[in-house]
Structures are given as C-alpha cells and as structure tokens.
Structure 1
C-alpha cells in the first residue's frame, strides 16, 4: 500500500540537502505540498528544482536559520501564507558535532541546543495549536542512534538528541487525545552530504571504498541511503501509521546496541 499525503502540507527543516531533501522529495512525490527550510539560498533553489520535478503538488522554499527564533517565526508565516496551513513538521536540521566533554565550551553547548532542541520546540509550538484544532497532525523529529546509547566523546550531539527524544515522548502524550502523532527517527550511518565532505577532506581512496569502510560494523553490511530513511518518514507522516506515536525508530541497519 502506497503512502498517500495528498492534501497535506509538510514543512522540512534542513531540507535543502541530504536526508532532509530526500524527505521533502518523497513527501512531495506522495502528494503533499512541501515547504523546504534551510539557510543557504543557492542550495534552497537547487532543492526546489529537484523536488519540483517529482512533486504532485506545490513546492516552496524559505530561507531560515533555525537557531534564531525570529527566523523560524518568519518562515512559518511565509509557509502558512503560501500553503494555507502546516499538517506535518519534520524537524531535521542539525549537525553531528562531537568532542571530549572537557573540550566543549558553554558557547558550543548552547549552539548545539539551539540548533537541535530549541529549533524543534519553536517550530512545533507554532504548528501545534492548528494541528490540535483540526485533530490531525504529524511531528517527526530526526535524531540519531547516539541519543539512545551515547558513546564517550560524543557530546554535545548525543545529549541534544537525547533531549529531542524526551521532547518526542512528551509531545506524543499531549498530542494523542487530539490525533496529533509524534515520533522520532534515529539516523545510523546514512550516505549523505556530510560523509561526502568528510571523504573529500580525507582524500583517501574512492568514495565507495570510504563507505565500505564505514559499513564494517553494520550488521546489515552496508551504509543506508537517504531515500530509505525518507521512506520511513513518509510512512510515519501518512495515515498508514495512524496508530504509531511516541516511538523512537532506528533506521540504522541494526547498528545501534539499543532498540
């Protein structure tokens, strides 16, 4: 059965590249109106063109630095003015910044929390009242598997993501009586722009060999694709997942030691 998002409006942060763009593309191909939010205007326009080729409905972009509350409010207003409302929020913006605990300054902690936690809080808070009123809504928080099983020297990312998982469960409880479903998707090793950049910086061997090396500890034997991740997000956004809320779902080829 195909996930059908016809008549729905989705907003995807960090949607101009990688996993975010794959999610925007998959949802647009499934019939949703899609708003793509990101900071860089050039990559936003490129994403709009790519997504529009597969879209069955409207596609728009809005420049937004999600670490800034005013940017989020302004972008949300643009989306509602253009597309009418927001039914689906995908909080995807983020990085994988890590380091040893004593190396992380207050400023770095705050930057990471602003990007990965407060951005999700602020955008969801804007869309939430209308979702509750219409008795239909979806919030999908893109986190990582480190949120469940943090390793040494994995802060601030894993700490911010763990907070995002707690936010997901809290919102799922509040949204359930109103048919507003909230889930988190946890990234393992997914082929995306960040790995392309890291390979370019290393300048060692081919990119395929680089991915193969990354996959050595993945039980499924390979790195996942952004499209595979987007398929799960699209399912959660659709009525096919009408009894799924408060779940923290790994999309990682069984890499995580925690379910």
Structure 2
C-alpha cells in the first residue's frame, strides 16, 4: 500500500486488514505510519518508510516485502501532491514535483513489483488517479495531467502483462470528503474566472467508497476486469 497515511490510503489499509489481508503500509512519514499501525491495532500490518521519488528506496522496500512474506500479491498506489494554482503561477519545479510524486512514483513501484508477480504467476495492481484525468480543472492542471498519464500507463501495463496473469486497474475518485477536496474547492472558487464552466459536483463521496472499489478490484469477484478505469464520482464527471 503506497501512500498509506493519506485520507484514502489509511481507509484502504483498514478495509484490506478487515478483509484478512497482510498489509505493508508505506509512506514518507515514519511517525504517521506508526500512528496508522497503532490505530489499526493489527499484527497483520507492517510499515515501511519510503520516498517514492527514489527508485532505489522503492526497490529496497519491495525486496524487503518479498523477503519477509515470500510474495507480493497486490500493489495499491495512491500518492498525490496538493498543489493548486493558476497555470501561469506554476513553474517547472511545481510541475516536476507533481509528476515525479504521482506518475513516476507509480512507474517505479510497478517496475519493482511486477517481476516478482511474474515469477509467482499472479498479481493485482490498483492505481488511484482522479476525475481530473478526464475533466480538467484549471487550477489542478499538473495533477490532472499526471492522472491522465496514470490511466494510460495502467491500460498499457494491463495489456503488456495480461499473459502473466497480472491485472492492472484504476480507481478514479470524484469529489471525496477530505482536506484535499477542500483545497480543490477553495482553489476553484478563488480562480473561477479562469474556467469557462463550473465543475459539476453532485453527492460528495467518502474515502470508504474508494476503499470498497479498491477491495473489489483486488478480489476474485472482478477477475474479468483488467485495464479498466473505474470512476467513483457520483456521476459528476461531465464527459463520456
């Protein structure tokens, strides 16, 4: 579980533990990881501090998981950098930070985990992207571009490793009650003049809605699905 200390990551971990899975929760902050482990109060939860911007750090964690548990059945990626601003206010550094912490982080974790999944003859990957991949928000363009790339990456990996019995799917959250959503709403209202039309927000979801979708995609109940981008957005994405 990559990005375990965020609002979505924490509830996904909780649902996985409740389903009986052995979970390795990873993130940058060791203090937050320890707090999560204590909150879950489960012996089946390990933690691993990792900076997803570093390929070597990710490889060490993946190798450690295999050494400790013998295999890696599933990989869930949910990382993000909350940077919301007008296009003209975002320099190359801001764009690079977001792309590196989202798209390239997913590339690195998949590249590290997939060889082990091939060896064991099975694996499931779920990547979290977002509604902005298909419905651009003017104050969230770097994140939207990263999400769109995650969708394409996931479909490409699903096709590439289909014969290896590795499924790769995407959950694309819409409005979810969280600090991140509040930041998005605030940035949108502050820069309303930059948008030709308002974003459509219907029923705001809960982090548990995303966790349930992830759990289903990791289960045998979705065994015929791979390369799918599953919107969990309350119908708020106004495009096909």
TM-score above 0.5: yes
Shorter-chain TM-score: which interval? 0.7 to 0.9
- 1:25–1:51 contact (8 Å) kept in structure 2: yes
Look up the SS of the partner of 2:139 in the other structure: coil
User: Is the strand fraction higher in 1 or 2?
Assistant: 1
Aligned residue among 9, 16, 22 for 1:33: 22
* Shift, 1:58, TM fit: 1.7
C-alpha distance in 1 between matches for 2:84 and 2:53: 18
* Shift, 1:108, TM fit: 1.3
Q: Which TM-score applies when normalising by structure 2? A: 0.88
Look up the SS of the partner of 1:191 in the other structure: coil
Aligned pairs, number? 228
C-alpha distance in 2 between matches for 1:179 and 1:13: 22
* Shift, 1:217, TM fit: 4.5
Aligned residue among 229, 239, 242 for 2:223: 242
- 1:67–1:111 contact (8 Å) kept in structure 2: no
Q: Which moved more, 1:33-42 or 1:144-153?
A: 144-153
Q: Say whether 1:104 aligns with 2:90.
A: yes
C-alpha distance in 2 between matches for 1:79 and 1:232: 24
- 2:127–2:171 contact (8 Å) kept in structure 1: yes
* Aligned match of 2:189: none
* Aligned match of 1:256: 237
Q: Which moved more, 1:88-97 or 1:140-149?
A: 88-97
Q: Runs of 5+ in structure 1 lacking a partner? A: 1-11, 202-215
Q: Say whether 1:225 aligns with 2:211.
A: no
Look up the SS of the partner of 1:156 in the other structure: helix
C-alpha distance in 1 between matches for 2:130 and 2:82: 9
* Aligned match of 1:76: 62
Look up the SS of the partner of 2:102 in the other structure: helix
Look up the SS of the partner of 1:13 in the other structure: coil
Look up the SS of the partner of 2:237 in the other structure: coil
C-alpha distance in 1 between matches for 2:41 and 2:165: 30
- 1:184–1:248 contact (8 Å) kept in structure 2: yes
Aligned residue among 115, 125, 132 for 1:129: 115
- 1:181–1:245 contact (8 Å) kept in structure 2: yes
Supply the RMSD in Å over aligned alpha carbons: 2.2
* Aligned match of 2:129: 143
Q: Which TM-score applies when normalising by structure 1? A: 0.81
Look up the SS of the partner of 1:66 in the other structure: coil
Look up the SS of the partner of 2:230 in the other structure: strand
Q: Which moved more, 1:187-196 or 1:32-41?
A: 187-196
